[in-house]
Structure 1
Amino acid sequence: MKLDTMDRRILDEMQKNARISNLDLADKIGLSPSPCSRRVKQLEDEGLIDRHVTLLNQAKLQLKLIALIQVSMDLHTPERFEAFEAQVRNYPEVLECYLITGQAADYLLKVIVPDMEYYQAFLLGKLTRIPGVSGVQSSFVLRKAVDTTALPLGHL
C-alpha cells in the first residue's frame, strides 16, 4: 500500500492518541469524517495499524525497576531458540525479547519488575531455569532519556 500525506497524518495522530474519535481525527487532519473513517479502516485492513493499546503508568503501578538482560544460550539450534522464546512469552515481566547479533549474547530482554528483590526471584526462579540458558548479564535503567512508542514516518 502506498501511503499519501493524509495516511501519514492519520497514523501520526493515532500514534499520539489511539482513542481519538473519528470526528476529532478528521478535524485534525483536515478531512471529512466519512473518508477519514474509510482510510483508518483501510490502514487497519492492510495491517499498517497493528493494534490499539493502553499504556499504563509504571511508577503508579509500583513497577520501578527496568532491567536489560543479555542472555547467552548453550546451543544455537532453531529448537533451542524456539523453546526459549516460547518460555519467555509466558513471563509477564518480559516486555520485549530480541534475538540479536553483534554481541556475545544471543538475546536481549527488557524486563520490568517492582524492585531488586523481585528481580532476583525472576532471574533465579524463572530465567536461569530455562533449558539452554548458559549466561545472563544484567543492566539496570537509571533514567529514560527518550520514551516513545511512536514510529518515525518521515521516510515514507
Structure 2
Amino acid sequence: MLHIEFTTDLGAKVTVDVESAAQLLDVQRQYGRLGWTSGSIPTGGYQFPLENEPDFDWHLIGARKWTSPDGEELIIHKGHAYRRRELEAVDSRKMKLPAAVKYSRGAKSSDPEHVREKADGDFEYVTLCFFRGGKRQDRYAAPARRSPARTEDQAA
C-alpha cells in the first residue's frame, strides 16, 4: 500500500492510502479537483512534454483553469494566478533550445528562494509548469469528457 500526503486548500494535512502505483494519478486527479496538492513547486516548475500542454490535466497538481473577467485564461494554483507564455526556439552558437510554453507569475517576497527566478532588471518570477520537448505521455492528459448516460426512454 502506498501513502500520499495532500495539503488541502485550507492548509490541513491529509494522508490517503493508495492500493497500487497504477492508481496514483487517479487519486491525485480526484483530490486535485478539490484544490489539494501533494507537493510543492520544484525549482524551475513542474516539467512536462510540450505535446501535453494543450490538454494537460491541471488537477494532477491541484490546479485549475480560470478565465478572468477580461477573458484571459489563467491557471490557479494555491491561490496564485499563472499566465501562459510562449517561448520561441533558440538556435545560437552558445545555446540550442526547442520552443516551449510556460506558466508563470511575478514572485512575491513570501515565495521561497528556490522557486524564484531572475528576469530582466530586478523582476523575479515563479514558474508553475514548463512544457518543452519530450514525447507526449497520455497519463498527463485530462480525461475525455464522457457523454451523459442514456436513459431507457432515450434508448427506446
Calculate the TM-score normalised by the size of structure 1.
0.25
Which of the pair is proportionally richer in strand?
2
TM-score, reference length from structure 2? 0.25
Bigger RCO of structures 1 and 2 (CA < 8 A, at least 6 apart): 1
